[in-house]
Structure 1
Amino acid sequence: MKEYKLSGWPELPPAYQRTAYQRMLHQMSQGFVPLTMLVRASGLGRDAVQHFLAQLSTRGVLIERTPPRAPLGAGMATRSMAWLRRTLRV
């Protein structure tokens, strides 16, 4: 899943000067944010958020990345070790 971050603060046209868009800009100014978090923070629909991201991209102020995935079994090993530590405690 892609994540998004601002490389600079854009000048927004009047159609985007609403609280929902300001919230998204604030989130992205703090660091990389996935689309689902932007939808939740703004309260807008997924299509509206994607359209806004496209607008930011055409203005050249959006950085996109796809974070690397952790191996599937990585979390399983730490959970099983935690269970073992709890079991062996006296």
Structure 2
Amino acid sequence: MKEYKLSGWPELPASYQRTAYQRMLHQMSQGFVPLGQLLRVSGLGRDAVRRFLAYLQASGVLVEREHAQTPRTLLVMDWIRRTLGGTGPRRQA
């Protein structure tokens, strides 16, 4: 999963001068943000967010990276897998 961050503030055309896009820019100006969070804060559909990210990439102000899973994330994912899937090691009580 990728995360996105701004390296600079872009000049936006009229089609992107809406609150939803400003919210995404604000989030990405604070640090790396996954696509799911951009979808939630903007309220836009996946295609619209991806088009906006492509515009930012073409403008040279978007930095992207692969999401690094933290040990806590791995523990939560393991717990979910064990709880819902019934697989994986179980702790003894």
Q: TM-score w.r.t. structure 1 length?
A: 0.77
Aligned to 1:41: 41
Written as runs of structure 1 = structure 2, the 5 A alignment for 1:1-90 is 1-70=1-70, 75=75
Uncovered stretches (5+) of structure 1, i.e. residues with no partner: none
The structure whose Rg is larger is: 1
Q: What amino acid does structure 2 have at the position aligned with 1:61?
A: V
Q: Alpha carbon RMSD of aligned pairs, Å?
A: 2.2
Q: Percent identity?
A: 68
Uncovered stretches (5+) of structure 2, i.e. residues with no partner: 80-90
Q: Which runs of 4+ in 1 moved over 2 A?
A: 67-71
- Aligned length in residues: 78
Q: TM-score w.r.t. structure 2 length?
A: 0.75
